[in-house]
Structure formats: C-alpha cells, structure tokens
Amino acid sequence: MTRYADGPTTSVTIEVEATPSRVWSMVTDPTFPARHSSELQEASWDPEGPEPGLGARILGRNQHPQVGEWTTTSHVVEWEEASVFGWSVSDPDEPAASWWFELSPSGQGTTVTQRVRLGPGRSGLSPAIEAMPDREEDIVARRLSEHERNMTANLEALKAELAV
C-alpha cells in the first residue's frame, strides 16, 4: 500500500537541446512552473529573505478545485549550480511536499527531471486521508497523478521555450 507517511514520489524526465547552465536559469525562476501549472498560480522569491540559493524562500499561491486557494512558503534545501534545485514546502524538516529539478549533461543538451515527494508533514491531503483512511492509497495515487500532469506540462513548456 502506498501510504502518505512513506513519502510517495513521482517524476517526469525530458531531454532538451540546451546546456545545463541555460536550463538552470529557467528552472530556478520560481515564476516558470507557475506559468504552466493548473495548480500553482504564482510564485516568487521572498523579498524579505536571502538571495536565491540555499536557504532562500519561495512564496507561492495555489488553487485546486477541491481545496480552494492557499499560500505557501517553501525553503530551498538543495542548490547545486546547474545540477540540483530542491525546495521543501512549509517546514523544511517536516515538509508537506519536497520538489526538485535535477539536470545532467547528455549528448546535445541536458536531461531534466522534475520530481516531487509527498509528506511527511501535514498537507491538504491530510484531512482527506483522516476522513477516509480506507481510501488513502487512492487519494495518494490521484494526487501524484495531478502532480505528474503539471510536471509534464512544465517540462514540455521548458523544452519549447528553450527551442526558440
């Protein structure tokens, strides 16, 4: 059984014809995924926080038809120039979710993976799982599927924008 507490993950990978440094400049722009996601409506670096890099914060506004609107503060927990950009939503020690862009050189360009891990901290899924514990596996699978669709849209848009 796929349980939320186990940190279920999903990822999407694509090959793009651009250098890792060119891809890096796009994936570390928090407005990029907001332009292509059905859920993330806007995101920006926290102007009151540290400069973009390890320890920086990202402010986000999200919308989901079943949950409504909410805001988040994410914390950059991985920052390896032109390689890995990772952030944790809400509490960096007990995140609601953790996200990454991972880049590696390949052939004529870069292999780009976007990955998400749910939990282990409380999230919008927590009340649904508590109300319907017998449906936890379905709830988690549905959420991972939603994230996978948005990540696919992000990476397809990335590839198209880099091709211009």
- Give the per-residue pLDDT at 115: 98
User: What structural domains and CATH numbers belong to the chain?
Assistant: 4-163 (3.30.530.20)
- Yes or no: say if 89 and 35 are a contact pair by the CB < 8 Å rule: no
Q: At how many degrees (to 10) do helices 20-27 and 136-163 cross? A: 120
- Give the per-residue pLDDT at 90: 94
- Give the per-residue pLDDT at 108: 86
- Give the per-residue pLDDT at 155: 96
- Yes or no: say if 131 and 16 are a contact pair by the CB < 8 Å rule: no
Residues of the chain with pLDDT under 50: none
